[in-house]
């Protein structure tokens, strides 16, 4: 699916397409509508770059027990953690 933003609206923001896309990604992450992985992909950034962007704006990461357990499982599957 594509979203079309009229040129006059984009020009009114004074932003580039990339900047506007990043702002949308940050907003959706803040509202917990997107995970950090989804938001970083939407923003066209690596996850680490997106985390730096969030940190520069003092936006906390959403990281709960389920996220921690998923990370542990990923590490186990990669053979890097033996718990």
Residue 53 banded pLDDT, cuts 50, 70, 90: very high
Task: Tell me what pLDDT residue 81 has.
Answer: 53
- Helix (H) and strand (E) counts in the chain: 5, 0
Task: Tell me what pLDDT residue 64 has.
Answer: 74
What is the token pair recorded at 77? 């599957």
Task: Tell me what pLDDT residue 69 has.
Answer: 83
All structural domains of the chain with their residue ranges: 7-77
pLDDT in tens, 30-42: 999 998 889 999 9
Average pLDDT score over residue span 41-70 = 89
SS3 state at 75: helix
């Amino acid at each position: 699916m594509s979203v079309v933003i009229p040129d006059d609206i984009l020009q009114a923001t004074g932003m580039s397409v990339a900047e506007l896309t990043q702002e949308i990604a940050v907003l959706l992450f803040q509202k917990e509508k997107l995970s950090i992985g989804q938001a970083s992909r939407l923003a066209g950034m690596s996850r680490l770059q997106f985390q730096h962007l969030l940190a520069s704006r003092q936006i906390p990461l959403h990281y709960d027990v389920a996220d921690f357990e998923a990370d542990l499982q990923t590490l186990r599957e990669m053979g890097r953690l033996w718990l």
